Structure 1
Amino acid sequence: MILYPAIDLKDGAAVRLLRGEMDKATVFNTDPAAQARAFQDAGCQWLHLVDLNGAFAGEPVNGAAVEAILEATSVPTQLGGGIRDLETIEMWLNKGIARVILGTVAVEDPDLVWHAAASFPDQVAVGIDARNGRVATKGWAEETDVMATDLAKSFEDAGVAAIIYTDIDRDGAMGGPNVQATADLARATSIPVIASGGVSSLADLVALRDTGVISGAISGRALYDGALDLADALAALG
């Protein structure tokens, strides 16, 4: 199982939100590129970036910070937030992003996901963010009637590289991930599922790994707070 250290970008800084609320942001590093280098130096295989402002604006906002991270690191990086058309997808892939994450458009324009996944094999992931099993969009500001499992199944044959599943109520709360819901989603689809939201200890990572069906986990606040040591976690996951 791959551990993805998270760098959430707001106003050019690396922050963490509590349950996705922009007015509950804690700034952890004003130099995201330095943070990315530190994660790489600790041995991570991937980085996970989110343009938080972009998720609300519907277009890239923290582009300069993303580009600085790409220049400072060599590990593959996935990016979500404000990526809602083919031009933006192509732009980021051309700049060196290894995988783009499509969230809001997966609900509003699923044809774009199919087209992008076919055009850029293994470089398109779907971000499914849910409260009580229902998908939320536009930076989690709008809830829909779409069930997370139904959305995942709808892309079964699209060639999507991964699904990043976030339980919004667990995100940034340091209360542990929703292991059961994530595992249930992973069993419902053949697309690899990456867990996000609430991963706050080595025990959380082990619980996700031991399901045998979850391919990755994203952790942010726990790494910044020191509750989870990245080098130790990577060593334990092998």
Structure 2
Amino acid sequence: MILYPAIDLKDGSAVRLLRGDMGAATVFNDDPAAQAMEFVEAGCDWLHLVDLNGAFAGAPVNAAPVEAILERCRVPAQLGGGIRDMATIEAWLSKGLARVILGTVAVENPALVREAARAFPGQVAVGIDARNGLVATKGWAEETDVDATDLAKSFEDAGVAAIIYTDINRDGAMQGPNVEATAALARAVSIPVIASGGVSSLDDLIALRDCGASLNGAISGRALYDGALDLKAALAVLKP
């Protein structure tokens, strides 16, 4: 399993939200590239980036800090938030991003996901953010009646590289991940699944590692910033 340290970008700074509430943001570092380098120097193999403003705006907003991270860090990075057309996908990948994450458009324009996955094999992931099993879009501000597992299954033959599954109720709350729902989703599809939301301790990572489903990895943010989760210890626990 891969540990993906999360850098959530709001107004140019690295922040963490509580359950996706933009009004409940805690700023952890006003130099996101320096934060990214801390994670890289500790030994992480990937970075998980989110343009929070972009998720609401529907277009990239925090491009400058993302580009600074890509310039300084030599590990692959994936980015979600505000990526809703082919031109934006192409632009980010051309700047050195390893993988784009498509969330809102996976619900609103699934054909774009399929087109992008064909055009850029291995570089397109689907972000499925769910509250009580139902998908939320546009920075989690809009509820849908789309079942998270049904959405994942609909991309089974699309060639997407991964599914990032976030339980919104757990995100930033330091209450542990929804292991049962994440494992159930991973068993329902052959696409690699990355767990997100609530990972706050070594025990959480071990529970995901040993959940009985083959997870690609787990994303953690607030716990790494708060010191509740030691990155080096976490990487050691997840190494095969």
Structure 1 length as normaliser, TM-score? Answer: 0.99
Matches within 5 A, 1:121-200: 121-200=121-200
Matches within 5 A, 1:1-238: 1-211=1-211, 212-238=213-239
Q: Distance in 2 between matches of 1:235 and 1:192?
A: 21
Q: Distance in 1 between matches of 2:143 and 2:205?
A: 28
2:92 alignment partner AA: W
Q: Which runs of 5+ in 1 are unaligned?
A: none
TM-fit CA distance, 1:237: 1.3
TM-fit CA distance, 1:105: 0.1
TM-fit CA distance, 1:118: 0.4
2:24 alignment partner AA: K
Q: Per-residue displacement from partner, 1:143-188 (whole Å, max 9, x unpaired)?
A: 0000000000000000000000000000000000000000000000
Q: Distance in 2 between matches of 1:214 and 1:147?
A: 20
TM-fit CA distance, 1:236: 1.5
TM-fit CA distance, 1:20: 0.1
SS of the residue 1:139 aligns to? coil
Q: Distance in 2 between matches of 1:233 and 1:219?
A: 10
SS of the residue 1:87 aligns to? helix
2:196 alignment partner AA: S
Q: Distance in 1 between matches of 2:151 and 2:117?
A: 15
Q: Distance in 2 between matches of 1:113 and 1:67?
A: 23
SS of the residue 1:195 aligns to? strand
Q: Distance in 2 between matches of 1:126 and 1:145?
A: 18
1:217 alignment partner AA: A
Q: Distance in 2 between matches of 1:105 and 1:206?
A: 32
1:229 alignment partner AA: D
1:122 alignment partner AA: G
Structure 2 length as normaliser, TM-score? Answer: 0.99
Q: Distance in 2 between matches of 1:30 and 1:210?
A: 36
Q: Distance in 1 between matches of 2:99 and 2:71?
A: 16
Q: Distance in 1 between matches of 2:79 and 2:65?
A: 12
2:12 alignment partner AA: G
TM-fit CA distance, 1:235: 1.1
Tell me how many residue pairs correspond in the alignment.
Answer: 238
Q: Which runs of 5+ in 2 are unaligned?
A: none
Percent sequence identity over matched residues? 80
2:64 alignment partner AA: A
1:223 alignment partner AA: L
Q: Distance in 2 between matches of 1:133 and 1:41?
A: 36
Q: Per-residue displacement from partner, 1:97-136 (whole Å, max 9, x unpaired)?
A: 0000000000000000000000000000000000000000
Q: Distance in 1 between matches of 2:8 and 2:134?
A: 23
